[in-house]
């Protein structure tokens, strides 16, 4: 068994889990943070994307034990305080989601992308940067639109959120 201690969405958490427990399962099952999803077995769909120490990673491709000691932000932590994050608001305004299953991973990937590119994002870059996130509902049109809109709105504020 592995002893896990980490900061998740600003809160110190701990737990004892089998060493083989993936970070995504620790989040979902031990912490009841079920916004992070599992959509594939091969680390490609990106439904599980969270931020670990400020960077987007696939929580299905990391053991909880590997992440122990880290600072993790999940979709549930993005709008802390009740105010929607600009990326969340843009996904709603531009209809960037349908069934919602890929959405948490998409939004976490988008916030990371905007952190890295700021206002320099264009459509081709957004599409290339979404390489690790699969959506089956939207045909990506409105996801791309939402990310560009959020990036434009956020440009000027260099860092998305204190992580």
Partner 1 sequence: MYETNYHRAGSVDEAAKLMDSAESGKFVAGGQTLIPTMKQRLAAPDSLIDLRHIADLKGISVNGKDVRIGAGTTHYEVASSADLAAVCPGITSLAGHIGDPHVRHMGTIGGSIANNDPAADYPSAMLALGATIHTSKRDIAAADFFTGMFETALEDDEIVTAVSFTAPDACAYSKFPNPASRYAMAGVFVAKGGDGVRVAVTGAGMDGVFRWEAAEQALGSNFSAGALDGLSVDAGDMLSDIHGTAEYRANLVKVMAKRAVAAA
Partner 2 sequence: MGIEGIGARVARKEDKRFITGKGRYTDDMVVAGMKHAAFVRSPHAHAAIKGINTDAAAKMPGVIAVLTGDELAADGIGSLICGWMIHSKDGSPMNMGDWRPLAQTKVRYVGDAVAIVVAETKNQARDAAEAVEVDYEQLPAVTEAVAALKDGAPQIHDNAPGNLIYDWEIGDGAAADEAISNAAHVTRVEILNNRLVPNAMEPRATLGQYDEAEDHYTCWTTSQNPHVARLVMSAFYSVAPENKLRVIAPDVGGGFGSKIYIYPEEIVCLWASKKTGVPVKWVADRTESFLTDAHGRDHVTTVEMAFDADNRMTGLKVDTIANLGAYMSLFSSAVPTYLYATLLSGQYTIPAIHCNVRTVYTNTAPVDAYRGAGRPEATYLLERTVETAARELGVSPAELRRKNFIREFPYQTPVIMNYDAGDYEASLNAAMKTADYAGFPARKAEAEKRGKKRGIGMSCYIEACGIAPSQAVGSLGAGVGLWESAEVRVNAVGTVEVLTGSHSHGQGHETTFAQLVADRFGVPLDSVSIVHGDTDKVQMGMGTYGSRSGAVGMSAIVKALDKVEKKAKMIAAHLLEADETDIVIENGQVKVAGTDKALGWHEVALNAYTAHNLPAGMEPGLKEGAFYDPSNFTFPAGCYICEVEVDPDTGKTEIVQFVAADDFGNIINPMIVEGQVHGGIGQGIGQALLEGTSYDPETGQLLTASYMDYTMPRADDVPSYKVSHTVTPCPSNPLGIKGCGEAGAIGSPPAVINAITDAIGNNNLTMPATPQKVWKAMHG
Encoded tokens for 105: 């991973």
Binding mask 70-99 for partner 1 (x = CB under 8 A): ------------------------------
27 in Cβ contact with 76 (< 8 Å): no
E strands present in the chain: 2-8, 11-17, 49-52, 55-58, 71-73
Q: Would you tell me how many other CB atoms lie within 10 Å of the CB of residue 109? A: 24
Size of residue set near partner 2 by CB under 8 A = 57
50 in Cβ contact with 76 (< 8 Å): no
Applying CB under 8 A, among 6, 8, 9, 22 the residue interacting with partner 1 is: 22
CA distance 49 to 34: 12
CA distance 1 to 15: 10
Quickly tell me which residue has 């004892």 as its tokens.
Answer: 16
Applying CB under 8 A, among 131, 136, 141, 158 the residue interacting with partner 1 is: 131
30 near partner 1, judged by CB under 8 A: no
Binding segment toward partner 1, per CB under 8 A, in 44-52, 72-80, 85-93, 139-147: 44-52
Applying CB under 8 A, among 7, 30, 79, 155 the residue interacting with partner 2 is: 79
Q: Which of partner 1, partner 2, none interacts with 55 (beta carbon under 5 to 8 A by kind)?
A: partner 1
Quickly tell me which residue has 């390489």 as its tokens.
Answer: 131
Applying CB under 8 A, among 70, 88, 111, 115 the residue interacting with partner 2 is: 88
Where does this chain bind partner 1 (CB under 8 A)? 2, 18-20, 22, 41-44, 46, 49, 52, 55-58, 60-63, 65-66, 68, 109, 112-113, 116, 129, 131-133
């Amino acid at each position: 068994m592995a002893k896990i201690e980490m900061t998740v969405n600003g809160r110190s958490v701990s737990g004892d889990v089998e060493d083989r427990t993936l970070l995504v399962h620790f989040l979902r099952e031990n912490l009841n943070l079920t916004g992070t999803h599992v959509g594939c077995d091969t680390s490609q769909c990106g439904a599980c994307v969270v931020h670990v120490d400020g960077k987007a990673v696939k929580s299905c491709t990391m053991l909880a034990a590997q992440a122990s000691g880290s600072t993790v932000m999940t979709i549930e932590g993005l709008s802390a305080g009740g105010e929607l994050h600009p990326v969340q608001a843009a996904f709603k305004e531009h209809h960037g989601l349908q069934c919602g299953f890929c959405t948490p991973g998409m939004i976490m990937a988008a916030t990371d992308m905007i952190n890295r590119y700021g206002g320099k994002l264009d459509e081709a870059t957004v599409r290339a940067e979404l390489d690790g996130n699969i959506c089956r509902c939207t045909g990506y049109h409105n996801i791309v639109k939402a990310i560009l809109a959020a990036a434009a709105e956020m440009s000027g504020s260099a860092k998305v959120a204190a992580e």
